[in-house]
C-alpha cells in the first residue's frame, strides 16, 4: 500500500514530500530517512520505483511504503540507548534507520522468517557500513538478525523498550505481543487493519491509539516440527562492549566535537546544515494503490493528511529554476570530515583504520 505522496526523483525529494504531507514530523526521523537511501535496499532492476510511495515485493523480499515507515518511526518515539525488537525485520531498512537513532549503547534485534531475506539484509547492512558517509555522521547501533517465527520466541527472552511487527497481527496474538514490552515501552503493529500504537503504562495497564488504516499480509502461523515441538527462537544476548570498543566510541565522539567546534568558529553556527540545491515544488495528490502480496490482493486508498490543491506560483518558481545556471543546480559533493580528521592524526595506519571500522573510502 502507499501512494499518499508524490514520487521523488531521489531519496531527498521523497523525504521532502513526506515532510510536506506531515508523515515525517520530527528532526530525528527526518535525519534517519535522509541518511539511508531507500534505493539501496532494492534489487538493481527495480530501483526505478524506489522513490515512489509504494510497497515493493519480490519473492520473499518486501519493503513497506515510505509513508508507512514514516508513521512507524514517528510512533515509536525512538531515543538513544533504547532497546528495539523488529518482528519481521525483512531487508533491514527500518532496523538500520532505527539504529542511527539508538546510538552505540542501544539494542537492535530483528527476527525474520525467511533465511534468504536475512542473508539479503546482512548484505545490505554490510554495504551501508562499508560505503556510506552517514555511518560516520551518526553513532550507529548495528542490528542483529536471527531466523525464525516471531510467534515462537523463547519464553526467557528479554523485554524491549520498543517493538514493531511488520505483519498483520491477529487479535488472539495481541497479548503475546504486549508481553514483549517493558513498562513504559511502545509497541507498533498492524492490528485489525489498523496501524496501532500501544504504550505499556504499568504492569497491567495499556494505552492504545489507532494511527492509520493499513493492509498487511497476516503473520505466518508456527509449524510444528516432526517431534511435535515448536522451534523456539533464541534472541541475541545483551552483549557487553569491550574496553577497546568503548575507547573507539569515545575517541570518535571526541573528534566529532572538535569538528563541530571548528564549524562553529568557521560559520558562527555549527548547526546549519549544508544547503541542498533548490527543488521543484511538488503537489500532493490522492492516489489509489493496489498491492499484490503472494496470491492475495489488497486495494487501499489513503488520503493525504492535508490537501493542497493550489498551483499558484508554480509557473513562476519553474521559470526561476530554469534560469539558474547548471553550476547553481549541482549539489556540492559531501565531505566526510570525520574520516579526513582521523586519517590526518599522527597514529599508526592500523589504528586509524580501526577507528574507521575498516570502512572503504567512498568515491
- CB 36 within 8 Å of CB 23: no
| Phi–psi pair at 79, nearest 5 degrees | -140, 155
- CB 38 within 8 Å of CB 50: yes
- CB 220 within 8 Å of CB 147: no
| Phi–psi pair at 170, nearest 5 degrees | -75, 150
Quick one: angle between helices 27-35 and 93-102, nearest 10? 130
Instruction: Tell me, yes or no, if 215 is annotated catalytic.
Output: no
Query: What digits encode the pLDDT tens for the residues 171-204?
Result: 999 999 999 999 999 999 999 999 999 999 999 9
pLDDT band for position 7 (cuts 50, 70, 90): confident
Q: What is the DSSP code string of 180-227? A: TEEEEEEEEEEETTEEEEEEEEETTEEEEEEEEE---PBPPPP---TT
Question: Cell 488520503 appears where?
Answer: 303
Distance CA(329)–CA(174), nearest Å, equals: 51
pLDDT band for position 305 (cuts 50, 70, 90): very low
Query: What digits encode the pLDDT tens for the residues 10-26?
Result: 999 999 999 999 999 99
- Residue among 64, 96, 134, 300 flagged as catalytic: 64
Residue 244 has pLDDT above 90, yes or no: yes
**Domains annotated on the chain, with CATH:** 11-224+233-239 (3.40.50.150), 241-262+341-356 (no CATH)
Distance CA(240)–CA(246), nearest Å, equals: 10
158: nearest Cα among 179, 187, 186:
179
Residue 315's pLDDT is: 53
Quick one: angle between helices 93-102 and 66-76, nearest 10? 30
- CB 307 within 8 Å of CB 8: no
Residue 237 has pLDDT above 80, yes or no: yes
Taking the model in full, what pTM does it have? 0.81
pLDDT band for position 360 (cuts 50, 70, 90): low
Query: What digits encode the pLDDT tens for the residues 158-171?
Result: 999 999 999 999 99
pLDDT band for position 311 (cuts 50, 70, 90): very low
Distance CA(211)–CA(225), nearest Å, equals: 37
Amino acid at each position: 500500500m502507499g501512494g499518499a505522496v508524490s514520487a521523488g526523483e531521489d531519496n531527498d525529494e521523497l523525504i521532502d514530500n513526506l515532510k510536506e504531507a506531515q508523515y515525517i514530523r520530527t528532526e530525528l526521523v527526518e535525519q534517519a530517512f535522509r541518511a539511508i537511501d531507500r534505493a539501496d535496499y532494492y534489487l538493481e532492476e527495480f530501483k526505478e520505483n524506489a522513490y515512489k510511495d509504494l510497497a515493493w515485493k519480490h519473492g520473499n523480499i518486501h519493503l513497506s511504503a515510505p509513508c508507512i515507515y514514516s508513521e512507524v518511526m514517528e510512533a515509536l518515539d525512538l531515543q538513544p540507548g533504547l532497546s528495539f525488537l523488529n518482528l519481521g525485520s525483512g531487508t533491514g531498512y527500518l532496523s538500520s534507520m532505527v539504529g542511527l537513532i539508538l546510538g552505540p549503547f542501544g539494542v537492535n534485534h530483528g527476527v525474520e522468517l525467511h533465511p534468504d531475506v536475512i542473508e539479503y539484509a546482512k548484505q545490505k547492512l554490510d554495504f551501508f557500513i562499508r560505503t556510506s558517509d552517514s555511518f560516520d555522521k551518526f553513532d550507529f547501533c548495528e542490528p542483529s538478525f536471527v531466523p525464525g517465527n516471531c510467534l515462537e520466541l523463547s519464553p526467557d527472552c528479554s523485554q524491549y523498550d520498543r517493538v514493531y511487527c511488520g505483519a498483520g497481527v491477529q487479535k488472539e496474538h495481541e497479548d503475546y505481543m504486549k508481553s514483549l514490552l517493558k513498562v513504559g515501552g511502545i509497541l507498533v503493529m498492524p492490528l485489525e487493519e489498523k496501524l496501532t500504537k500501544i504504550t505499556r503504562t504499568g504492569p497491567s495497564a495499556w494505552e492504545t491509539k489507532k494511527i492509520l488504516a493499513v493492509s498487511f499480509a497476516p503473520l505466518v502461523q508456527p509449524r510444528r516440527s516432526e517431534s511435535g515441538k515448536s522451534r523456539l527462537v533464541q534472541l541475541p544476548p545483551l552483549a557487553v562492549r569491550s574496553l577497546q570498543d568503548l575507547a573507539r566510541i569515545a575517541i570518535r565522539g571526541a573528534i566529532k566535537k572538535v569538528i563541530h567546534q571548528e564549524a562553529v568558529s568557521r560559520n558562527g553556527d555549527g548547526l546549519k546544515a549544508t544547503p541542498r540545491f533548490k527543488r521543484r515544488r511538488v503537489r500532493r495528490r490522492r492516489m489509489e494503490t493496489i498491492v499484490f502480496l503472494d496470491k492475495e490482493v489488497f486495494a487501499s486508498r489513503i488520503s493525504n493528511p492535508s490537501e493542497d490543491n493550489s498551483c499558484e506560483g508554480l509557473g513562476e518558481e519553474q521559470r526561476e529554476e530554469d534560469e539558474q545556471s547548471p553550476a547553481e543546480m549541482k549539489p556540492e559533493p559531501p565531505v566526510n570530515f570525520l574520516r579526513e580528521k582521523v586519517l590526518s592524526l599522527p597514529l599508526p595506519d592500523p589504528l586509524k583504520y580501526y577507528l574507521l571500522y575498516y570502512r572503504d573510502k567512498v568515491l
